[in-house]
Amino acid sequence: MNFIVETSARHVHLSQEHLEILFGQGYELTKKKELSQPGQFACEERVTVVGSKGEFKGVSILGPVRKSTQVELSLTDARSAGIAAPVRESGDIAGSGPCRIIGPAGEIDITEGVIAAKRHIHATPADAEMLGVKNGEIVSVKVDTNGRSLVFGDVVVRVSESYALAMHIDTDESNAAGCGREQYGEIVK
């Protein structure tokens, strides 16, 4: 069974507190476009992410707001900006990398929250059953491309009724496999 493999570029998830520091009291995110995961969206707003060696201007914010601020970079991004970003599942930010985030109304220094997202598959319980996998299982996924086919190991399966079936990889991983805009993968045992 094939499923879409989506490339996730660098982005930021903000807490309401940090959103208001960066954009102003009572500020609400402006939805630009819906993403593949239900309820998730890209925002019009952008921020600058600063590390000890460099910065990225115009970094996308994904909504809705979260309990904790999280910055997701590729390992190449993190190294070039001088940020120690461990490979982690989304939300697992304890002890992760620090950075400064600059918005139009203010800036914040986070002491943790920068990660390189662990490659993962979102699946509903029905999808997981059809794929023969369980929540938290680690699998390998084969991606066939023109001249750069690759098997990604260490892919975590995340199962929830609120998900839509899709695999997420970052830009480093996508480039390594030569992924195009519409790329599909399949679990290999």
Tokens of 38: 């239900």
What is the model's pLDDT at position 151?
98
Q: What are phi and psi of 80, to 5 degrees?
A: -65, -25
Per-residue model confidence as pLDDT tens digits over 78-136: 999 999 999 999 999 999 999 999 999 999 999 999 999 999 999 999 999 999 999 99
* Cα dihedral 152, 69, 162, 141 in deg (nearest 10): 0
Instruction: Report whether 89 contacts 122 (CB < 8 A).
Output: no
> What span, in angstroms and rounded, lies between the C-alpha atoms of 139 and 188?
8
Q: How remote is the C-alpha of 61 from its chain's centroid?
A: 11
Partners of 87 in the beta sheet? 116
| Whether the Cβ atoms of residue 94 and residue 71 lie closer than 8 Å to each other | no
**At residue 189, does pLDDT exceed 90?**
no
pTM score of the predicted model: 0.95
Q: In terms of Cα–Cα distance, which of 139, 134, 96, 91 is closest to 119?
A: 139
Give the other-Cβ count within 10 Å of 173's Cβ.
Answer: 21
Q: Is the pLDDT of residue 181 over 90?
A: no
> Angle at CA 144, nearest 5°, toward 172 and 153?
55
Is 145 in contact with 183 (CB distance < 8 Å)?
Answer: yes
Q: What is the mean pLDDT of the chain?
A: 97
Confidence of residue 53 (pLDDT cuts 50, 70, 90): very high
